[in-house]
Amino acid sequence: MENHDRVLEQAAAWRGEGAGVALATVTTTWGSAPRPAGSQLAVHEDGRFVGSVSGGCIEGAVVVEAQDIIQSGAPKLLEFGVSNSQAWEVGLACGGKIKVYVERVD
């Protein structure tokens, strides 16, 4: 039985297969963010991912950004928060705000 939290190992395994991979990490949280700073998500170039940076609220958006970053190689610090006026925007329903650092695994 294994600890389910093996994000870095999965990132390295995908990279080892020759796939483009990005790593997203929560760096800062405000309010009731669902996952603490340090939480990670590994993203495969084809859109598969393991781990989490929220309770499922923003993973979709992070995966799309991560796919861009796999292409460009330039890391980005993304910010997500509540979006009352534009409820269709990607946001955190819990009212929290988080920053997510996304980098390519070289």
Closest among 45, 46, 47 to 59, alpha carbons compared: 47
Smallest distance, other proteins to C-beta of residue 67, A: 17
Question: Rounded to an integer, what distance in angstroms lies between the CA atom of residue 22 and that of residue 82?
Answer: 25
Please, which of residues 3-32 interact with other proteins by CB under 8 A?
Answer: 3-5, 8-9, 11-12, 15, 23, 25-28
Smallest distance, other proteins to C-beta of residue 24, A: 11
Closest among 38, 46, 54, 1 to 20, alpha carbons compared: 46
Nearer to other proteins, 8 or 19 (CB): 8
- Per CB under 8 A, the segment of 33-41, 48-56, 58-66, 85-93 that binds other proteins is 33-41
Please, which of residues 43-62 interact with other proteins by CB under 8 A?
Answer: none
Positions that interact with other proteins (CB under 8 A)? 1-5, 8-9, 11-12, 15, 23, 25-28, 36-38, 75, 77, 99, 101, 103-106
